[in-house]
Amino acid sequence: MIEAHELTKRYGEKTAVDGISFTIAPGSVTGFLGPNGAGKSTTMRMIMGLDRPTSGTVTVNGRPYAEHRSPLSEVGALLDAKAVHPGRSARSHLRTMAATHNIPSSRVDEVIEMTGLAAVAGKRVGGFSLGMGQRLGIASAMLADPRTLILDEPVNGLDPEGVQWVRRLVRTLADEGRTVFLSSHLMSEMAQTADQLLVIGRGRIIAAGPVQEVIDSVSAAAVRVRTPRAGELADLLQADGVTISSPEPGTLDLRGIDAADVGELACAAGIALHELCPRSATLEEAYMSLTQDAVEYRSDLAATTSAATTSAATTSAVPEEGSR
């Protein structure tokens, strides 16, 4: 279990984490979401004792991380897959870690097999791809068979097989009663993996709870309708106070009414429907809505498009080599 109480971290005048409190319970996968600069990495570093809180407390399994006699057995963490000496082999790195806790070499071999690194275990880590580095990071986190796992972007750089493997791994660990806390920017993957969500923005908790509850708290279920008489149907529905949007001609997204009532109303009015489909909001939609005012580094799509157009025009105006 991970428990934080009024956890705060300031760097000079910058407040990275602002008085957050939360509990990450065992037996479930808790997803940690937030924009870049929201405070996710700082929070994870404070849990692991790598950053000292300005105020507040955070404990893992009842104690601060640094006070555990066998910390690797309590918490396994992947915070930075590149935090390995590039000249060491994967096996050498894991054996060095194992020696600090009297972990047998047989366990090193187990996690190498578990993470799919057997073919490259003797190679230098400096030559590893991003995905191979992630696998080594997960092997390091699993080395002492810990009660709690903290994984920062564990599927970053993995191929589809690797992504599925991580999903199955964390689900299995949670089913065994362990605490699993992971962050990711892949909303579709988080929706399939997590049981609970903790959403942070500008250093503060924005939302917390079961995945579907977080989604429903932001976006009510909708009904999508496609009909050649969309305008007529919209007029009928507006009279009943239904919220209507039209993502494209001939298509309506409706909120405040269920699909059966839409069908009955359209039938009574003689309006043919080409599509009538209940539509649940996605985690990505809910996340974008929750964090729209908490994005610190916001891209300007218009400026990007303009710059790309200008660049293309400039390139086309430059004569090719040999044509001068």
Q: Which of 212, 244, 260 is the last residue of a domain?
A: 212
Q: Which of 163, 196, 212 is the last residue of a domain?
A: 212
Q: Is the pTM of this model over 0.85?
A: no
Does position 82 have pLDDT exceeding 90, yes or no? no
Return the CATH number at 260: 3.30.70.260
Please tell me whether residues 267 and 195 are part of one structural domain. Answer: no
Looking at every residue in the chain, the average pLDDT score rounds to 88
**90-136: pLDDT as tens digits:** 999 999 999 999 999 999 999 999 999 999 999 999 999 988 999 99
Please tell me whether residues 232 and 200 are part of one structural domain. Answer: no
Please tell me whether residues 87 and 180 are part of one structural domain. Answer: yes
Rounded mean pLDDT of 36-63?
94
Please tell me whether residues 71 and 29 are part of one structural domain. Answer: yes
Does position 41 have pLDDT exceeding 80, yes or no? yes
**274-320: pLDDT as tens digits:** 999 988 778 888 888 888 877 765 555 455 545 555 555 555 555 54
State which residues form the domain around 94. 2-212
Rounded mean pLDDT of 48-61?
95
How far, CA to CA in Å, does 183 sit from each of 61, 100, 310? 20, 27, 37
Percent of the chain with pLDDT over 70: 90
Rounded mean pLDDT of 238-264?
87
Please tell me whether residues 57 and 205 are part of one structural domain. Answer: yes
Q: Which of 85-89, 224-228, 313-317 has the lowest mean pLDDT?
A: 313-317
Res 311: pLDDT: 53
Please tell me whether residues 163 and 236 are part of one structural domain. Answer: no
Residue 262 resides in a domain: yes
Percent of the chain with pLDDT over 90: 66
Residue 300 resides in a domain: no
CA distance 15 to 233: 51
Rounded mean pLDDT of 235-258?
86
Q: Which of 151, 197, 165 is nearest to 32 (CA)?
A: 197
Residue 184 resides in a domain: yes
Res 292: pLDDT: 83
Res 221: pLDDT: 66
Please tell me whether residues 104 and 247 are part of one structural domain. Answer: no
Tokens of 73: 């057995």
Please tell me whether residues 23 and 101 are part of one structural domain. Answer: yes
Please tell me whether residues 49 and 186 are part of one structural domain. Answer: yes
Please tell me whether residues 203 and 119 are part of one structural domain. Answer: yes
As for how many domains the chain has, the answer is: 2
To which residue do tokens 């001939």 refer? 250
Please tell me whether residues 62 and 95 are part of one structural domain. Answer: yes
Residue 105 resides in a domain: yes
Q: Which of 212, 240, 257 is the last residue of a domain?
A: 212
